[in-house]
Amino acid sequence: MNRFFIALALVFSLCACNAVSTLKDGFAQSEAVASDMEKAVGSKPFVGFNWNNGALNSVNINFQGIPKERTVAEIAEIARASVKNQFKQEPQQIVVAFSIKPQ
């Protein structure tokens, strides 16, 4: 019985290492995308991501306000290129959002 619990703990620890590594890499990649976007657009966004079974499902890029230096189409193209470059795979979707304050 003790061997079972030891084996179970070992399996969980090995699985957790991969999950922690994936999460750590994801945060580094999302920070790199935010940095790329800030350089290209002039405003640093919040970048979130969603992984499922090792596949990148979505990347969310949220700006505070609407950047004035680029058009929405240019921002979308910059986001697509940065996500593909930094995450090393294409997600199923990229969401670019702008939050604005009500007047």
CB contact burial 43-81 (16+ within 10 A = b; e otherwise): bebebebebeeeebeebbbebeeebeebeeeebeebbee
Question: Which pLDDT score is estimated for 64?
Answer: 92
- Whether residue 2 is predicted with pLDDT greater than 70 in this model: the reply is no
Are 92 and 58 in contact by the 8 Å Cβ rule? The answer is yes
What are the chain's domains? 27-99 (3.30.70.1350)
Average pLDDT of the chain is 84
Q: How far is 103 from 94, CA to CA, in rounded Å?
A: 29
Task: Give me the phi and psi of 94, to 5 degrees please.
Answer: -120, 125
Answer yes or no: is pLDDT of 83 > 90: yes
pLDDT of amino acid 15:
54
Q: pLDDT (tens digit, 9 = 90+) per residue, 27-70? A: 889 999 999 999 999 999 999 999 888 788 999 999 999 888 89
pTM value is: 0.77
